[in-house]
Structure 1
Amino acid sequence: MINVGCLAILITGLIALFAGYPLIVYFTQSQASTLGAYNLGGINASGQVPDIPSHRGLIDVDTPKSAYTRTSLVDGSKYELVFSDEFNVEGRSFYPGDDPYWEAVDLHYWSTNNIEWYDPAQVTTAGGSLRIELSAKQEHNLNYTGGMLSSWNKFCFTGGYIEANVSLPGSSKTYGLWPAVWTMGNLGRAGYDGQQMVHPGPKVNGQYVGRSAPEIDVFEAQVEQHTLVGAVSQSGQWAPFNAAFVWDNSSTNLIISDPANSKLNTFVGNEWQQTTSVVTNTNQNCYTQEGGCFSTYGFEYKPGNDGYIQWVNDDKMVWEIKGAGMGADSKTQISQRPVPEEPMYILANLGMSYNFGPIDFEHLVFPAYMLVDYIRVYQPADQQNIGCDPPDFPTANYINTYIEAYTNPNITTWVDDYKQRMPKNRLIDQC
């Protein structure tokens, strides 16, 4: 009888373990959710819920509570943290599908004549930082291999403040590297140049508005060839263009905090863009081959015609452009270009190109690497707008309609490669 009783207890226990326990877990355990709403509070634009140790949503659990709020550079109003990545988890992978918010590209960035191939293997995390490496190794018939990380169509924001804490690559005395942290409108995917059209709208009220892929740079870093001093260009890119690229840079619309350390960039644009840029010297110790310290770069912006962009270098506001500076131009018969209203995604990359300046191969040390301690995004407490497909500026339907242009970097032309037709316009086609 004792043996029968023990056997009954054992059988009951096994049934409870293999049948009862799954039912108990199903009905009692908290399930992964969207944490509030589509693309808010924990999912990306593709609907994925992140499952990365120490990174459980839009706000990284490693972000200190003291960094959950900040004040506006302009009016001191309260801004709240809406996204952060502290990059503290060691050895992360950013190959396609490995991360809910980031993806490293695998392509040649030929449109700016880069001399390296971008490989996802060059982007990882180490020592509490994002590490993007540029190596002197051949790949795809190119002699160098670098990295580019992007949150395209995964995390976007409209308005607010973005900040990156960075140790720049190489030495502040050696020129030739092209590191950058920047943002771009979600309708354009960097490196996929076959996507050359723009979605026409619509707005919620039924009106149409011209669409584009604007660019605001947190920084593009350079070392001046003759002075051997490290600096960053912090810029906004605009279209259509003013006559001779001359914008209204009066003292009302252009504010430079320290003219001794910051100068208007002599580059004002080309056939692809009009550029408003100021070049500012960096903290010369915050390079990986120098003191190795980290320096904070960022910008705060308000979208729209009455908006502004303010840039930060080494945790100090260095310059500002007011929206009125890009007002209507009667010479070219264009109206005001608003401070970008498109949902903006984030990029970080390290490469080289003669387009950006001369390259001192004799003194550059490879591998070179850029370290990013964190990236954080803040927005006004009462004006939060995150997501890559907002109602006023939708992108999902257009991207899905022309998805091959956004996912095949070998498509380089809209008509010949992608076999699409150019849209008509009244100036050329009399329509």
Structure 2
Amino acid sequence: MAARGNYARMDLNGSTSNHSSIEGEGASSRSGSTGFRSADGQVGSAQASSPFSSTFVGPGVAAPAKGPKDPFGHIDDDAGDDWLHDVSTADKSSKEMSFRGVLNVGTLALIGGGLLMLFLGYPVLSVYMRDKAIVTSSQEVSSRTAYPAQLKRGLIDRDTPQDAMAHTGILDGKKWHLVFSDEFNEPGRTFWPGDDPYWEAFNGWYSGTMDYEWYDPEALNTTDGHLQIAFEERATNGLNFRSGMLQSWNKVCFQGGYLEISAILPGYHNVAGFWPGLWTMGNLGRPGYSGTNEGMWPYSYSSCDTGMLPNQTFINGTGPPKAVRANGQFSYQVDYALSWLPGMRLPACTCPGSDHPGPNRFTGRSAPEIDLLEAKIGPRGGQSSQSLQMAPFDIDYYYGNSTARGEVAIHDPATTEINDYHGNELQMAVSGLSDVPAHAYDKEPGSRFTTFGLEWEPDWDGSGEGAYVTWYIDGKAMWSVYSEALGPVPELDIGRRLIPREPMSLIMNLAMAYNFQPPNWAELEFPGIMKIDYVRVYQIDGRPDKVSCDPPDMPTKKYIENHADLYDDNTIQRFPKDRWPRNELQGC
């Protein structure tokens, strides 16, 4: 599950041909030739403005003269009964203003200032406050509206119980503290743009995975102390189903931590069809906005070599041999090419002066993905695909998965195994499959909330030291992948792939797609409801909290603003080629 788009494959002679592609699937899915109906409705958004006008009202005073000697009231005439205009009696000396005069002038100034504030200042201030980001104790959260009083809260939900304020590492006993939580206890929350400080619902069709459903903000709400996402058999914008996707994109993000989500999954543990997803993605990519993700997803890389080039081949297309002629599980479907990715848009050697988000042009930037849960039905019942989506790719997508060499660890062999799906021409899936307990499904007897956890330590300096990802279910560690699994591959002229250090946003959605798993139409029951009891994120004690979507070491704000058309319009499928920055390997 991830960003999507259409990629151009770089042929060996240097020409390009377009390929409609799936930009990210569950680790157990692959691209297929199944037909689908596209959405014929258009999605638009309107930004309401609040125009205002100001009016200055001031009374005028006229003092008529009584019986002037001259019909025109000439100023040289001496009007005995008009002391105001009797110049002969004018006092040539100056006097201090009386207290009463000061009071009168002050009162008039106060009234005038109040009128100005009422008719001019207040509307300006209202617009400013509406557009101003809501500032919390830890981070500035983007907003375009004023939120209801109950949502003007910090990163930690006031309803989070005291015993959830800290977490002890399950494998190593390390101490962690809470940096973000949402308990979803407030009833009636909605997630249209501007409704919520931390979440926004996607409105559109997720074309990259050819989903059956249209994502509609109306499919999400908070009821009975839970977030509920409903997958309904309801015709919407040319599709037969409606469901929901909730994102924290550009509102709250994390660089490393322990993420725990308590959820009940829809349906039965042995009926295929629903595709619940709990996942994270780098903030430079916006899920569902394909134009933002081209050349970004699923890279996690900061080397200047063949790994960042189109199709993962040399400039002239003659090699490396293992990239030109791959032997992956599905390579026969794509002329045995290893990669159809368009190359990395923001590599570690972007040309000087080029469009790059920083912190400098020698830092590779991208939109990686880590999947906490992608639920499917396996031979023993429900399974969770727990994956780190990755590019560039290993030979035939076989990353290092040896427990003996310390590349991976299977913590619960009775319930977890390495996924036999390793990827395709668009993604390498560093993935494990773990059994999901039957009680995690809402149609099963004894159904209850089950926790799904993800712990990751980023590869901060690119050395790989101490970097890892570990997945959990119901408080038990399932499996881990370490940086050793993603080391350099000289045969492909690629360097180390990185455990993501980008600021990662959170996504929760309920989908259905043939390419992930063919639905069992005969036994599926609608609506399917996924419930979320809480989302909590912890980070290690003794370190600065890293909860910003625009951190100094991995900034995103200015880049997003400079490409607002792509981040605001999900109908744009491709990043404009005339804006694609050049790199040193291609020539500056």
Counting matched residue pairs gives 391
Report the alpha carbon displacement of residue 357 of structure 1 after superposing the two structures with TM. 1.0
1:399 aligns with 2:560: yes
Report the alpha carbon displacement of residue 426 of structure 1 after superposing the two structures with TM. 4.9
Report the alpha carbon displacement of residue 361 of structure 1 after superposing the two structures with TM. 1.1
Query: What whole-Å deviation, never above 9, does each CA across 1:313-334 have from its counterpart, x for those lacking one?
Result: 1221110011111011111111
3-state DSSP of counterpart to 1:289 = coil
Gaps of 5+ in 1: 1-18, 20-31
Quick check: 2:357–2:558 contact (8 Å CA) kept in 1?
no
2:398 corresponds to which letter in structure 1? V
Quick check: 2:147–2:195 contact (8 Å CA) kept in 1?
no
Q: Match of 2:528? A: 368
Distance 1:203 1:414 in 2: 19
Report the alpha carbon displacement of residue 93 of structure 1 after superposing the two structures with TM. 0.3
Q: For residues 398 and 199 of structure 1, do their structure 2 counterparts lie closer, same or farther at Cα, with a shift above 3 Å needed? A: farther
Match of 1:303 among 458, 471, 478: 458
**Equivalent residue runs for 1:281-292 within 5 Å:** 281-290=435-444, 291-292=446-447
Q: For residues 426 and 203 of structure 1, do their structure 2 counterparts lie closer, same or farther at Cα, with a shift above 3 Å needed? A: closer
Q: Match of 2:230? A: 133
Q: Match of 1:380? A: 540
Report the alpha carbon displacement of residue 67 of structure 1 after superposing the two structures with TM. 0.3
Identity %: 42
Q: Match of 2:191? A: 94
3-state DSSP of counterpart to 1:399 = helix
3-state DSSP of counterpart to 2:567 = helix
> Larger Cα Rg: Structure 1 or Structure 2?
2
Query: What whole-Å deviation, never above 9, does each CA across 1:43-75 have from its counterpart, x for those lacking one?
Result: 414498864527721100110010001112343
Distance 2:217 2:144 in 1: 23
1:308 corresponds to which letter in structure 2? Y
Quick check: 1:42–1:50 contact (8 Å CA) kept in 2?
no
3-state DSSP of counterpart to 2:141 = coil
Q: Match of 2:138? A: 41
3-state DSSP of counterpart to 1:240 = coil
Compute the RMSD of aligned alpha carbons: 2.2
Report the alpha carbon displacement of residue 42 of structure 1 after superposing the two structures with TM. 6.2
2:409 corresponds to which letter in structure 1? I
1:421 aligns with 2:573: no
Quick check: 1:122–1:147 contact (8 Å CA) kept in 2?
yes
Distance 1:126 1:148 in 2: 17
Report the alpha carbon displacement of residue 211 of structure 1 after superposing the two structures with TM. 0.8
Report the alpha carbon displacement of residue 278 of structure 1 after superposing the two structures with TM. 0.6
1:269 corresponds to which letter in structure 2? G
Q: Match of 1:25? A: none
Query: What whole-Å deviation, never above 9, does each CA across 1:192-214 have from its counterpart, x for those lacking one?
Result: 0011244455665x561111101
Gaps of 5+ in 2: 1-113, 115-128, 296-344, 348-355
Quick check: 1:199–1:398 contact (8 Å CA) kept in 2?
no
Q: Match of 2:368? A: 214
Distance 2:384 2:149 in 1: 33
TM-score for the superposition, normalised by structure 1: 0.86
Q: Match of 1:269? A: 423
TM-score for the superposition, normalised by structure 2: 0.64
Query: What whole-Å deviation, never above 9, does each CA across 1:261-311 have from its counterpart, x for those lacking one?
Result: 111111111222211111111111121111320110011111002201111
Query: What whole-Å deviation, never above 9, does each CA across 1:97-149 have from its counterpart, x for those lacking one?
Result: 00000000100000011111000000111111110010001111100011000
**Greater per-residue strand proportion:** 1
Distance 1:177 1:52 in 2: 36
Quick check: 2:171–2:477 contact (8 Å CA) kept in 1?
no
Match of 2:396 among 244, 250, 259: 244
Distance 1:42 1:127 in 2: 29
1:315 aligns with 2:467: no
Q: For residues 298 and 361 of structure 1, do their structure 2 counterparts lie closer, same or farther at Cα, with a shift above 3 Å needed? A: same
Match of 1:411 among 572, 579, 582: 572
Quick check: 1:150–1:345 contact (8 Å CA) kept in 2?
yes
Quick check: 1:238–1:275 contact (8 Å CA) kept in 2?
yes
Quick check: 2:346–2:581 contact (8 Å CA) kept in 1?
no
Distance 2:346 2:245 in 1: 26
Q: Match of 1:340? A: 500
Query: What whole-Å deviation, never above 9, does each CA across 1:165-223 have from its counterpart, x for those lacking one?
Result: 0101111121011101100000000000011244455665x561111101011110011
2:184 corresponds to which letter in structure 1? F
Distance 2:571 2:248 in 1: 20
Match of 2:288 among 184, 191, 194: 191
3-state DSSP of counterpart to 1:371 = strand
Report the alpha carbon displacement of residue 40 of structure 1 after superposing the two structures with TM. 4.3
Quick check: 1:171–1:289 contact (8 Å CA) kept in 2?
yes
Q: For residues 237 and 180 of structure 1, do their structure 2 counterparts lie closer, same or farther at Cα, with a shift above 3 Å needed? A: same
Match of 1:356 among 516, 533, 543: 516
1:325 aligns with 2:485: yes
Distance 2:357 2:530 in 1: 40
Distance 1:250 1:190 in 2: 32
Q: Match of 1:10? A: none
1:293 aligns with 2:448: yes
Q: For residues 394 and 410 of structure 1, do their structure 2 counterparts lie closer, same or farther at Cα, with a shift above 3 Å needed? A: same
Quick check: 1:39–1:47 contact (8 Å CA) kept in 2?
no
Quick check: 1:174–1:228 contact (8 Å CA) kept in 2?
no
Quick check: 1:55–1:62 contact (8 Å CA) kept in 2?
no
Q: Match of 2:337? A: none
Q: For residues 363 and 254 of structure 1, do their structure 2 counterparts lie closer, same or farther at Cα, with a shift above 3 Å needed? A: same
Quick check: 2:272–2:519 contact (8 Å CA) kept in 1?
yes
**Equivalent residue runs for 1:155-194 within 5 Å:** 155-194=252-291
